[in-house]
A and B are shown apart, each in its own frame.
Chain A
Amino acid sequence: MATNSLGEDSGPVDISIDVGARMTAKRIDIYDLPMAAQEVVWSIIDELAFHLNEYIHDVWPVDTRASQSSWDITADGLIWTIRNPREYAGFVHRKNETGLVYKEIAARSEELLRQAWPRIKAATKRVRRSKTSPGRLAGFQKLLLPSATAAAGEALGGTIFAAQQRAFERLNTRSRERERLRAR
């Protein structure tokens, strides 16, 4: 089950899943994976990101839309980024309920990944047998910075996410909004 890597009591949420590490744990050698196989796995994670985005769109409580629009859900290489830097995202719950909504999102992400797992396994087996030229993933990676495509540590601890957390903690959302309105 994905948990908030920033801590249970943390306001910002990071429940990103390192799919590459999960593959390694299931004895799929990601370092020897041909580009075509990476492309298939990436497209599966990308599809999961799309479905999770839809889920969040349906279940996340909306007041000012600040925390909803701060969800960052993308397939960054073999990392499935699922995070929200808002200083209170981890505490959001529905009216008259105490359950934290981000935990529902974590559970849903695991469910989606579980459902996709046979496809990931099949894709890596199938593509290993046939060598294909670099395709969509290679094209996509060219457009992204290394932090968005490469090693897990860099993607999970992305500079902008850390900076957003710091900024939101330094100056809470309400103060930022007041300041922005004053600046107009």
Chain B
Amino acid sequence: MSDTLLSVDVSGLQEAIDSARNIDWTELTDALAEGLINFDDKLRGDGQPPGNPWPIGMIKGYGPDKRYVKQGTPGGRGSGRSLKGWKARQRGISAVVFNDARDKLGGTFYAQHVRLSGDDPGQAAKDAFKIFEEEMAKVIDKMAESLAGDLGGD
């Protein structure tokens, strides 16, 4: 990935839209919304540290004493800060997903560097993109199916 912006090939869908006579936009927007929710669900996995697939750091202490510690540290608890950073916005059949997690000190965006221990920096974002691609492929299939149903006309 050379950029933080990701894209998905929708050429097949464009063809289906062009061929459809009646388009049920509600079905299409619902399909996209469902895909975005599934993407979010899959990123969260079981929601337990160290995170599967999106990493969940371990923290200890409260307030100003709060700090990151190694996984498995007694008394540590999951953070989920960057998991909470995932957001989705949708309008019609367009959508954008982004992660705006910021460092507590300085407020730097850091989701693009997140990784599980032993992985390369940014691996989590690459995995997220794969999941996004998979979910969007399913959405496109669903949309195409809906549009093909409309081919029969009234």
Q: Could you list which residues of chain A lie within 8 angstroms of chain B, going by C-beta atoms?
A: 50, 53-54, 56-58, 62, 64-66, 68-69, 71-72, 74, 76, 143-148, 154, 158-160, 162-164, 167, 176-177, 180-181
Name the contact of A159 in the complex, choosing from B77, B78, B83, B91 (C-beta under 8 A).
B91
Give per-residue flags for B80-98: 1 if the beta carbon is below 8 A from chain A beta carbons, else 0: 1101101111111011100
Of chain B, the residue at the smallest CB distance from A148 is B89
Q: A69-B47, A148-B96, A167-B37 are in contact. Are A57 and B90 (CB under 8 A)?
A: no
Q: Determine whether the beta carbon of A158 is less than 8 Å from that of B90.
A: yes
Query: Is B141 an interface position by the 8 A CB rule?
Result: no
Q: Determine whether the beta carbon of B100 is less than 8 Å from that of A147.
A: no
Q: Could you list which residues of chain B lie within 8 angstroms of chain A, going by C-beta atoms?
A: 5, 29-30, 33-34, 36-37, 41-42, 44-48, 56, 62-63, 66, 77-81, 83-84, 86-92, 94-96, 100, 102, 104, 107
- Once the chains are docked, how many angstroms separate the CA of A64 from the CA of B100? 21
Q: Determine whether the beta carbon of B78 is less than 8 Å from that of A62.
A: yes
- Beyond A148-B89, A154-B91, A164-B33, 13 additional pairs, beta carbon < 8 A: A54-B104, A66-B44, A69-B47, A69-B86, A143-B5, A145-B95, A160-B88, A162-B33, A163-B34, A167-B33, A177-B46, A180-B41, A180-B45
Q: A69-B44, A167-B37, A181-B46 are in contact. Are A145 and B80 (CB under 8 A)?
A: no
